Structure 1
Amino acid sequence: MSLSDAARAVRENAYVPYSKFKVGAAIRTPSGATHAGCNVENAAYPEGTCAEAGAIAAMVAAGETEIAEVYVIADCPAPVPPCGGCRQKLAEFAKGDVRVTLATLDGQEFVTTVSDLLPGAFTPDHMDRT
């Protein structure tokens, strides 16, 4: 299944009773595995989970820790970028040149990279005291 198809399919499972804004994300790892996630809201809005975070959690739960490609889709007029927190989460597991495709249901796509989404990302190197 393509990343696009995986993101579209999981988006349908989003739990969004408050915003009604469904988002799906799919990531591919270097092994070729695909992991998907959708946004999940709760009554203590905005304490939900983003689609990108869900896909990353699924990847880590499966025993993998590196992202090779990302695809995010939502029903909006233009491709929607990940929130700031998810940009940092992506940067934790993906190299800067990893391809990120942001898409709409009507077929618009915007292709970027992790480093373009989050220039100057905080990394483990910032905690190195030696």
Structure 2
Amino acid sequence: MVRNSYPDGVGVPIHEADIAEVATIALLEDGHAGQAYPVTGPEAIGTGLGRTISFEGLTYSQARQAYIEAGLPVEIAEFILGYQAEYAEEPPSVSPTFEQVTGRRGRTLAQWAADHAAEPAPAD
């Protein structure tokens, strides 16, 4: 169960290793000077899970409070909710940049989850 505001928000998360790979190529290989690379993951978040997840809608205030109770500073909670509101109003699209720079498809959300499965979950 996911509880949050903005059920229509769409994200295209990118694996941190893919960010590092693009940065490494841009810094170490010729032809990248002065370039800015907007990178995204290879798929929208809803399609990357491979299963349906229940969603309970919260108001902005309820979601903000839940983030704060989970340990986020107020500024970060509001920053995240701001992005979610933007993604609900103007959903981002998958960018081909990673593949153009690296020559291969980026890591999926499923790959990110597998890579991080052994990490401890936050304490309740």
Same fold (TM over 0.5): no
- TM-score of the aligned structures, taking structure 2 as reference length: 0.24
- TM-score of the aligned structures, taking structure 1 as reference length: 0.24
- Bigger helix fraction: 2
Q: If you compute each CA radius of gyration, which structure gives the higher value, 1 or 2? A: 2
